[in-house]
Structure 1
Amino acid sequence: MKIMYLMDAYRDPYAGTEQQLYNLIDGLDRSRFTPALTLFRPSAHIDQYGFPCPVEVLNIRRMFSPRTLITMIRFALALRREHYRLVHIFFNDASILAPVFLKIFGIRVVISRRDMGFWYTPGKLAILRGNRFFIDRVIANSEAVKRVTHDKERVPLEKIQVIYNGHAQPATNPVDDSALENSSYLKNGEKVIGIVANIRPVKRIDDLIRAFGLLRRNRTDVKLVIVGSGDTGPLQELARELDLADHVHFTGAKTDIPPIIRQFDVGVLCSESEGLSNAIIEYMQCGVPVVCTDTGGNRELVQDGETGYRVPVGDIDMLAGKIGQLLEEPDRAAIMAHRAAARVAELCNMQSMLSRHAALYAGLADSRVNAGDKKTCPSE
């Protein structure tokens, strides 16, 4: 079965969606499926490092230009000519633009939804609600994302299937790992509070810096480590204003995160919106107790008081308090971390993610064949 994956752009395999797409394509059983990837825009990473399947680029820059419409028609015709049965769409522009063209030419359409719709606008929602008639299935990565997709895009619940992110268990030995080079900021007799998140407003890292400032009023043996790419300038300025500059460390982007996470005493995520956080999954896998905001799929990963703590979005006092509580109660924190590791091993199993995608693809292909058989049956 030939499957085409379609997405706006591919930055690198370390971002959440790109990582899951890479794992999915790399892990598909090649005796059953032949995957390929099409991008709207070029990927410098793929150009340099390659990808586990063939990659084509449509060079779409503007969503609704005449050239874009012609490109999409040609793309759909080529897929039909090359006997593709199904296209699996990731990211926003592709899911807005592509479904109607694909469906017109008889191709099954699957889209992935992996966030709580922070990018929705009235215009985009109007198109997405129309597109629901051209979509065969939606794959959501949490029950929370399933609900928001149903409520906002009006996709029928029976068309939405939840498949949690798949994560391989990271290696347990970080010795001589390049990720720990020049990392004296991690362990130096101090407790490490860490966050893995690209620096964007939705992640609310400024809340964590403010909470860290409150925490340091009661104990000075703590430091904050922020792992992720983005403009650190405003956050560094905030740290200086709060007299925390010497205690807040920005590592920039890292390609191998688990060895760094294992140095954390508490892992934090304080986003205002999350579909299913890869950072929280990695904290839990690495045996690090978690404090996160009570939003989206975080509720499905972190059971409050059992596998970590959840706090309301923007509640800086409670965020500081729960981090401090884990630091003050290391035995309780260790029990939580152990429970968390067991939960995430079951919920976010890599093989389960792959097998459930494979079953969905095969089921859609079989239903299409069966429908075709019925239409041509002489008795009808």
Structure 2
Amino acid sequence: MIKVSHVQLLPLLSGVQRVTLDELERLNDETIKYLFCQGRGPLTQGAIESGSNVIVVPDLVREIHPARDVRAFWYLWKCFRREKFDVVHTHSSKTGVIGRLAARWAGVPCIVHTVHGFAFPAAKSLLQKRVFHAMEWIGARCSHRVICLHEDDAKICRDRLGLSNKRIEIMPNGIDLQKFYPLSLEVDREALRVGVGFPADRKLVMMVGRLWEQKNPECLVEAYCQLWESGDPGADLVLVGDGALKEPLEARVKLAGLESHVHFLGWRTDTPRLLRLCDVFVLPSRWEGMPLAILEAMGCGLPVIVSDIPGNRHLVHHEKNGLLFPVGNAGSLASALVELLENASLRIRLGAAGRAKVEAEHDIQQRVRNMEALYRDVLSAGD
């Protein structure tokens, strides 16, 4: 038996948190599982249902807050010492630094961190960028292994954080292939659409993700509004997720008079079913690690249109298994939407290629087995 703790910031179930839950759910039965998190919510509920122990750390916050950060560090250090974990596995930028530092001081023998995209792109000033870099450098010094989702982040670890190849593992995200799968051609998609409140006679364009700056949903809404300047595109827009930008997005849709054609669904637990009912998936993010949302859409056989950024380029190869467009360029996104909405054979070809890539490279079961092997290697090496 080994005792494993994952440390996560928010109790939501957006991409990064779902990675954590997927891993906790699938760790083998010989593992005693813990989750440390800022509060209670869908993530902690899922963790409890999967047999994990949950410990809430209210002072874990996203913003830099010296007093709360010290309290969070102190609380984690005491818990790690008391529980004598074999493995502490951290996620997210600031939580990862505090968690790894506390684990190192507590003498945890295996400290692992997953990079879900570095914080550098979010820096709004040179000072902030230097602070973020210093935090990541400190966290790296406390890690036995850093898991990167792709080579771009591994290169940052080597070149900017000074980590050796021995301490870096490239381990792409994975999804449950039994949960995210294409709709059979024999199924009446139109009837299913009516059953969940979608129009049967219109194509559907979907985005799944938090409605905030990073995901850049404004670009998609603007592109969709542009489509209507040339007449009805014959497609509705579906936004699954919530966040600070919801009200401004609703205002833009109202200004365009498209309230009946843009559907704000909030967070849903039936995302696989909704994806299978759609025709095109879009993710216009400004930066990403390796988005589960893209993998899940590809798993469901959907053609995808995504922003041309490093995290997305590792999943989508232009005109082979999806389409790329310049980040923030609503006009280019609108053109890509027209290309797919008007070409059924292209949608089918790109969707099939995406599903094949996910089957070959992004199975969550294999990812978790690789992660368990990494834990064993570090514990046996004693480094």
Q: 1:252 to 1:45 in 2, by over 3 A?
A: closer
- 8 Å Cα contact 2:44/2:54 also seen in 1: no
Match of 2:82 in 1: 78
Residue 43 of structure 1, aligned match among 32, 40, 43: 40
| Deviation, structure 1 residue 356 | 0.7
1:1-380 superposed matches below 5 A: 1-12=1-12, 14-31=13-30, 33-39=31-37, 41-45=38-42, 50-52=48-50, 53-60=52-59, 64-65=66-67, 67-79=71-83, 82=84, 84-107=85-108, 108-117=110-119, 118-119=121-122, 121=128, 122-169=130-177, 170=179, 183-184=196-197, 186-220=198-232, 221-231=234-244, 232-368=246-382
- 229-238 or 2-11, which moves further after superposition? 2-11
Q: 1:68 to 1:305 in 2, by over 3 A?
A: closer
- 291-300 or 123-132, which moves further after superposition? 123-132
Q: What are the superposed Cα offsets for residues 289-323 of structure 1, whole Å, 9 maximum, x if unpaired?
A: 11110112211111111101011101222111111
Structure 2: distance between partners of 1:131 and 1:351 = 28
- State, as a whole percentage, how many aligned pairs show the same letter: 23
SS at match of 1:98: helix
- 101-110 or 188-197, which moves further after superposition? 101-110
Q: Aligned letter for 1:143?
A: E
Q: 1:244 to 1:69 in 2, by over 3 A?
A: closer
Number of residue equivalences:
361
- 266-275 or 159-168, which moves further after superposition? 159-168
| Deviation, structure 1 residue 348 | 0.9
- 335-344 or 143-152, which moves further after superposition? 143-152
| Deviation, structure 1 residue 98 | 2.9
Structure 2: distance between partners of 1:106 and 1:61 = 21
Structure 2: distance between partners of 1:44 and 1:279 = 20
Structure 1: distance between partners of 2:303 and 2:43 = 35
Structure 2: distance between partners of 1:87 and 1:276 = 22
| Deviation, structure 1 residue 252 | 1.2
- 319-328 or 99-108, which moves further after superposition? 99-108
| Deviation, structure 1 residue 48 | 5.5
Q: What are the superposed Cα offsets for residues 190-219 of structure 1, whole Å, 9 maximum, x if unpaired?
A: 121111111001111111111112222334
Q: Aligned letter for 1:207?
A: C
Structure 1: distance between partners of 2:258 and 2:161 = 43
SS at match of 1:301: coil
Higher Cα Rg: structure 1 or 2?
A: 1
Q: What are the superposed Cα offsets for residues 45-91 of structure 1, whole Å, 9 maximum, x if unpaired?
A: 46766342112234435754364454344223214xx3x22211112
Q: Aligned letter for 1:250?
A: F
Structure 2: distance between partners of 1:365 and 1:48 = 29
SS at match of 2:357: helix
Structure 2: where are the runs of 5+ without partners?
A: none
- 8 Å Cα contact 1:196/1:269 also seen in 2: yes
Structure 1: distance between partners of 2:290 and 2:134 = 25
